[in-house]
């Protein structure tokens, strides 16, 4: 799970932003509840060893591809009982738990595909997807560098099943407007994380 971006438009780390009564990180963890092991790629303050492993790309803020590489490295390998398939998930998709069952169902009916990812309004949602571990390793190894690499460059060449998202389950939170919209869908007031008053670019206020 990718939880270490700068979140420049929100002005505060995304994992702690509350929508629908829960932080974004908690929504994402709910989507991984059936996983054999969960790895969160993010800063030290997210550590919760009883629930998941925490790691970080080196250097930090290397982008989602660097985060995927770090997370994959933190999972057990095939010789240690590691899973054949890996769920790659951004932490800013609060309704991801609604999308994951459809991905799993599609994966059970694949033929030669090594990836299953959501598509929303014709746009590939690479960071709500299932990927064969070996194919993901090979794709990462084929890149000249992972730091700053494009997710499209990493994943678009993989034979994939596209799962349409007609209900917006894969819509993410990039701005406070997005947070308010997700909150409306989930039914509670979006608030910043405790002890923080971030800048909302839509209302002109500055942090205190």
**Residue 88 is part of which domain span?**
14-186
Would 51 be classed as within a structural domain? Answer: yes
User: Which pLDDT tens digit goes with each residue over 134-150?
Assistant: 999 999 999 999 999 99
What pLDDT digit, counting tens, does each position of 121-130 carry?
Answer: 999 999 999 9
Take residue 1 and report the two structure tokens written for it. 């799970």
3-state secondary structure of 131: strand
Q: Which two tokens stand for residue 197?
A: 């008053």
The total number of structural domains in the chain stands at 1
Tell whether the model's pLDDT for residue 2 goes beyond 80: yes
Asked whether the predicted pLDDT for residue 52 surpasses 60, the reply is yes
Gyration radius from the chain CA atoms: 17
Please state the pTM of the whole predicted model.
0.86
Asked, for residue 33, whether it belongs to a domain, the answer is yes
Q: Is 146 contained in some domain?
A: yes
Determine, yes or no, domain membership for 60: yes
Average pLDDT score, the chain: 88
Q: Flag whether pLDDT at 40 surpasses 90.
A: yes
Indicate whether 200 belongs to any domain. no
> CATH no. for residue 86?
3.90.550.10
DSSP string, 160-204: EEEEE-SS-TT----SHHHHHHHHHHHTS--BPPTT-----TTTT
Taking 80 as the threshold, does the pLDDT of residue 58 lie above it? yes
**pLDDT confidence tier of residue 92, bands split at 50, 70 and 90:** very high
Whether 193 and 12 have beta carbons less than 8 Å apart is answered as yes
Is residue 140 in some structural domain? yes
């Amino acid at each position: 799970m990718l939880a270490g971006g700068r979140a420049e438009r929100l002005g505060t780390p995304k994992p702690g932003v509350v929508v629908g009564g829960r932080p974004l990180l908690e929504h994402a963890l709910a989507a991984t509840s059936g996983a054999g092991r969960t790895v969160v790629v993010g800063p030290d303050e997210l550590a919760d060893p009883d629930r998941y492993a925490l790691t970080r790309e080196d250097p930090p803020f290397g982008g989602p591809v660097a985060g995927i590489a770090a997370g994959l490295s933190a999972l057990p390998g095939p010789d240690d009982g590691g899973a054949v398939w890996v769920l790659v998930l951004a932490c800013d998709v609060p309704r991801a738990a609604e999308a994951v069952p459809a991905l799993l169902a599609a994966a059970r009916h694949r033929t030669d595909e090594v990836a299953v990812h959501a598509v929303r309004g014709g746009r590939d949602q690479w960071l709500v997807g299932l990927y064969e571990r070996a194919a993901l390793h090979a794709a990462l190894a084929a890149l000249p560098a992972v730091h700053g690499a494009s997710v499209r460059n990493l994943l678009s060449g993989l034979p994939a099943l596209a799962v349409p998202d007609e209900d917006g389950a894969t819509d993410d939170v990039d701005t406070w407007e997005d947070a308010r919209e997700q909150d409306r869908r989930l039914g509670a007031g979006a608030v910043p994380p405790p002890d923080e008053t971030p800048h909302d670019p839509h209302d002109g206020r500055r942090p205190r």
